[in-house]
Amino acid sequence: MKRLLVANRGEIAVRILRAARELELETVAVYSEADADLPHVRLADRAVCVGPANPLESYLNQERLLAAAATQGADALHPGYGFLSENPAFARRCEQAGLTFVGPTSGTIELMGNKIASRKTVTAHGVPVVPGYQGSCEDLDALTEAATAIGFPVILKAAAGGGGKGMQIVRKPSELQAALESARRIAFQAFGDSSVFLERYLVQPRHIEFQILGDHHGNLVHLFERECSIQRRHQKIVEETPSTALDPERRAAMGEIAVTAARSVGYRNAGTVEFIVARDGSYYFLEMNTRIQVEHPITELVTGLDLVQWQLRIAAGEPLGFTQEQLRQRGHAIECRIYAEDPGQGFLPSPGTLSLLVEPSGPGIRNDCGFVTGNHISPHYDSLLSKLITYGEDREQARRRMLRALQDYTILGVKTTLPFLRDVLDHPAFREGTTFTDFIPAHFGQWHDPTDETGRRIALLAAALETCLSSHGSNPSTATHQHDPWTSLGAWQP
């Protein structure tokens, strides 16, 4: 492996290019016409424009990416996350072109992409899954019987889904038919595959995932967990490790199960096994993600390993240089996702020009950022600007460092999640570590920016305008009491 093409943009492209350069690989960046000024283009040895801003014509354009790899003489391709990272057809085309795809095989991506198939595979190897039914869901009678045996409430999920799309919670038998039709229609529209399956619906669960690394020599380890329960509409916004919900015994047991799940498909490279953890502490396999994840840095901080470098070293055939017993979790790490979105308006994307970006720094602070002052945040792409990650000897130190870093972070020109995250990190429930998947709707149902000065500014402008427009001296009361602030202040009165 000599020359790596990074088929992505933004912070993850920067992250991968840094790892590749430290390993002395030559690097090729790709970019769309909208992204020519982004940092990832400058960080690479070479850069190729792969098409217009529309991702379907650039970062998702398989022909253009494969052509760029061929003309630039790349022998490996890192897909990052999103875009083509979990597309088995693209991975297969890379394999067939003799281009090392930095990730698992196309067969593994395909198998794990189908939630019914992955459930069956891991179950056969003793991995616990949520009690459910993956038989033919077209037959309403059979489905009703299965749901009744499982016990209501139940949840319908798309086989080709993951990440929450098309899920339907069903509370009683009479709701099943409508929910089934809706779930199948949404699944077909989103994934072109209407197959769905059924699980018991767990109330107020936690979402905990385990990082996996497997090499080409049969070595497979887990790098402990990440607690990802703080989500809004199935998008994580704060992640941390270790989880406040696991004791050493449960952590070790879940880690072993995660390795078993990965081994059951002969997993290679970095991957993530997702679990749902019930309130009684029981845990169940949900799905496996076959890519590097957004939240990988917190694992790097507590293990001391560079996960992206290991992805590249594994892809080059190098064996893992350590065993499970040599791995330790040390300290605590928290990640906050900084999006160009308006948290006061339902997280509406806030594209625009970054008129100023000043990153926080100092002990235990890392900011994985894909943009600099002057860059345009395009509405064509995911609105993630950067990931702010803090490390501490313990959770409270990591939390306080995060609050300090969030205060020191300046982003002007677009609305961001920064003020919202300050309130999340300061919330008593977060301080206590009682983080469940309903954290945001439960504590931040309708949130308004406490530092938003817009209302005050409008009042001041209105007062100034009123003062200018009002004719002085014509009112006899002002003439007689001109030193009385209750009359002379006019519209400036509080």
| Active site amino acids | 291
Rounded Cα distance, 20 and 22, in Å: 5
* Shortest distance in whole angstroms from residue 181 CB to ligand MV4: 18
For residue 197, the SS3 value is: strand
Task: Scan for tokens 């018991």, then name that residue.
Answer: 200
Rounded Cα distance, 390 and 43, in Å: 24
Tell me the DSSP string of 76-112: EEE--SSTTTT-HHHHHHHHHTT-EESSS-HHHHHHH
* Shortest distance in whole angstroms from residue 168 CB to ligand MV4: 9
Q: What are the residues whose beta carbons fall under 8 Å from the beta carbon of 141, sequence distance 6 or more? A: none
**Nearest-CA neighbor of 261 among 112, 87, 106, 102?**
112
**Nearest-CA neighbor of 308 among 484, 64, 80?**
80
* Shortest distance in whole angstroms from residue 326 CB to ligand MV4: 31
Instruction: Pick between residue 210 and residue 409 the one whose CB is nearest to ligand MV4.
Output: 210
> H-type helices in 337-416, by residue range?
395-408
DSSP code, position 212: E
* Shortest distance in whole angstroms from residue 422 CB to ligand MV4: 23
Instruction: Pick between residue 200 and residue 337 the one whose CB is nearest to ligand MV4.
Output: 200
* Shortest distance in whole angstroms from residue 248 CB to ligand MV4: 26
Instruction: Pick between residue 166 and residue 360 the one whose CB is nearest to ligand MV4.
Output: 166
* Shortest distance in whole angstroms from residue 112 CB to ligand MV4: 13
Residue nearest to ligand MV4 (CB): 437
Q: Is residue 240 within 8 Å of 335, Cβ to Cβ? A: yes
CB atoms within 10 A of CB 449: 17
**Nearest-CA neighbor of 310 among 149, 78, 109?**
78
Instruction: Pick between residue 153 and residue 351 the one whose CB is nearest to ligand MV4.
Output: 153
Cis peptide before 242 (omega within 30 of 0): yes
Residues in contact with ligand MV4 by the rule CB under 6 A: 130, 155, 163-164, 167, 169, 199-202, 205, 231, 234, 276, 286, 437
First to last CA, the chain: 69
Task: Scan for tokens 């064509």, then name that residue.
Answer: 380
Instruction: Pick between residue 205 and residue 255 the one whose CB is nearest to ligand MV4.
Output: 205
* Shortest distance in whole angstroms from residue 220 CB to ligand MV4: 23
Give phi and psi for 285, each to the nearest 5: -65, 135
